[in-house]
Structure 1
Amino acid sequence: MKAHVGDKLVIMSRHLDEAVQEGEIIEVHGEDGTPPYLVHWSEGEHEGLIFPGPDAKIVPGRQASTA
């Protein structure tokens, strides 16, 4: 998984009653765009350092702004 600052991180829920989590990547700490990422989450207005799992996907910044 590789990302850039400004890309959107989307984590799909594992259960029907859980919401999808979305946030903007504000820092990339790994080499060549690899995790961990510092993400500003859209819900709750907080930030967190994350190593995304298999339930996560990256939406490039240009696509994220038009979606």
Structure 2
Amino acid sequence: MRAKTGDRMITHGRTVGDVERVTEVIEVLGENGQPPFRVRSADGHESVVSPGPDSEIRGARRRRFLGRG
């Protein structure tokens, strides 16, 4: 699993009813984009993680400005 700063890490719930957690990768601590990653959650909490098989990395969302193609 590789990531870069700004990517989102989604960790899926392990049991029925668990919600997925979405965090932002703010620093890659491993070599060549490999874990561990420093991530930040929506509430501002930061932690260092080595994601397991229930996680995936998605590229950073690109923002579109209104009125531009």
**TM-score past 0.5 threshold:** yes
Where structure 2 has 5 or more consecutive residues not aligned to the other structure, the ranges are 65-69
Segments of structure 1 that go 5 or more residues without pairing to the other structure are none
Flag the structure with larger Rg: 2
Q: Distance in 1 between matches of 2:11 and 2:61?
A: 18
Higher helix share: 1
> Counterparts of 2:20 and 2:54 in 1: how far apart (Å)?
10
Aligned residue in 2 for 1:39: 39
Aligned length: 64
Give the structure-1-normalised TM-score.
0.86
SS in 2 for 1:27: strand
RMSD of aligned Cα (Å)? 1.6
| Regions of 4+ moved over 2 Å | none
TM-score under structure 2 length normalisation: 0.84
Instruction: State the match for 1:12 in structure 2.
Output: 12
